[in-house]
Amino acid sequence: MDRQIEPLKPILTAHLFPRLDGMLIEHLRSLAPEDWEKQTVSPKWKVKDVAAHLLDTPLRGISIGRDSYVAESPRIDSPADLAAFINRLNEEGVSLYRRLSPAVLISLMEVATNLLAEYHAARDPHAQALSVSAGQVKSNPQTGSTPPGNSRNGGTTSSRSGWLWTSRVP
């Protein structure tokens, strides 16, 4: 028996991030100074390091997705290459932002998450998505095209929710 498989409908989530980000920022504001130095389940990261990572991720998302700016595009030939690249980016971001006070981290996180939410809210969730891997935008296999004007326009990856996600072409 031949059955047609219908494509899955998208699950729209962009509208949920401002509330989630607000809850995170509210929680971070409630932390006592000593809480910021507590160890997490990750042996390398304290609470402040996790907050630093959560600041770095939306900043990279805005830079790549909204501004079409990719600082580097290393050759990614395997899942291990991709994991190593993402781990390095995460380590560099945490190293940079751990220098900031908790109050500055929270203030910058509020700005960054608002900018990222505005960017996602303005996008067409039904537009054709490009295949993206760590900032490397690949052309649409059906049309062979990349977004006009810039081969990196519109694609991004992020570990914002702990997983990689691919954005859509604006």
Q: Residue 124 — left, alpha, or beta (φ > 0 → left; ψ -120 to 50 → alpha)? A: beta
Domains defined for the chain, CATH in brackets = 14-126 (1.20.120.450)
Question: Rounded CA gap, 65 and 49, in Å?
Answer: 24
108-143, pLDDT tens digit by residue? 999 999 999 999 999 888 887 655 544 444 444 433
Q: What average pLDDT score do residues 16-33 get? A: 96
Give the CA angle between residues 22, 28, 30 to the nearest 5°.
105
Task: Categorize the per-residue pLDDT at 1 as very low, low, confident or very high, splitting at 50, 70 and 90.
Answer: low
* pLDDT of the residue at 142: 39
Q: What average pLDDT score do residues 46-55 get? A: 96
Q: Would you say the pTM of this structure is higher than 0.75?
A: no
Q: Is the pLDDT of residue 49 over 50?
A: yes
